[in-house]
Amino acid sequence: MSCLDEIAVLFAREGARDYLGELVTQSEHMLQAGLLAQHDGASDALVAATLLHDIGHLRREGSGLELMAGTDNSHAKTGAEWLTTWFGPDVTEPVRLHVAAKRYLCHVDAAYFSRLSEASRYTLSIQGGLMNEVEAEAFEGEDYFEDALALRRWDEAAKDPAAPTPELGEFRDLLERLNRLSGRS
Ligand SMILES: [Fe+2]
C-alpha cells in the first residue's frame, strides 16, 4: 500500500474516533489543523506535518485512550518515526517535537497555558508537565523549534466542531509531492 493509501485508511478508520475528550474526531482535528496551517501560508512541509501530527495516536491500539487513562503513549515520537518512511525531517521533526512544544509554550507563555482545553491540560500532566528552564533552553536549540511552535498553535486551534473541515483528498497532491521530493518510498 502506498503512503497515501495507508494514511487514508488510518484517517477513515481510527481517526473517526473521539479526540481525547474534545468535540471533534481525531481526523477532523488533524484536517482542521492542516487547513489552518495552509491558510496562514505555511510551507508545504509544515502543512503536512500539521495535518499528520497526531498520526501516532491513530497507529496505536486504543488511539489515545491510553493517554487519557494516564499512560504517555509517546505518540509524537512513534508518529514521527513512522512518517520517516516517506517524508524528510522538515515534515517529521515538527511532528516529533509537537508535544515538547506544548510543554515549552506552557513554560514561557502563561496565557497559552490558560487557553488549553481541559483535556489538553490533563494530557500535559501525563507528558511531563511544564518545561523547566534547562529543558526550555535545550528545546530552543532544536532545528525545527519555530516550526514545532507554529504547529502547536494550529493544533490548539483545531478543535472547533463548527470550523471548516477539508477532506484528506485535498492534501493528496501536496503529500505526494513531498513524498517524491524526499526520495523515500
Ligand atoms: Fe493534536
Pull the grid cell for residue 160.
472547533
Cα–ligand 1 centroid distance for 29 (angstroms): 7
SS3 42: coil
Q: pTM score, two decimals?
A: 0.91
Cα–ligand 1 centroid distance for 10 (angstroms): 15
Give residue 16's Cα distance to chain centre. Answer: 16
Cα–ligand 1 centroid distance for 179 (angstroms): 22
Average pLDDT for 22-47 = 96
Q: pLDDT tens-digit profile of 143-167?
A: 999 999 999 999 999 999 999 999 9
Q: pLDDT tens-digit profile of 35-52?
A: 999 999 999 999 999 999
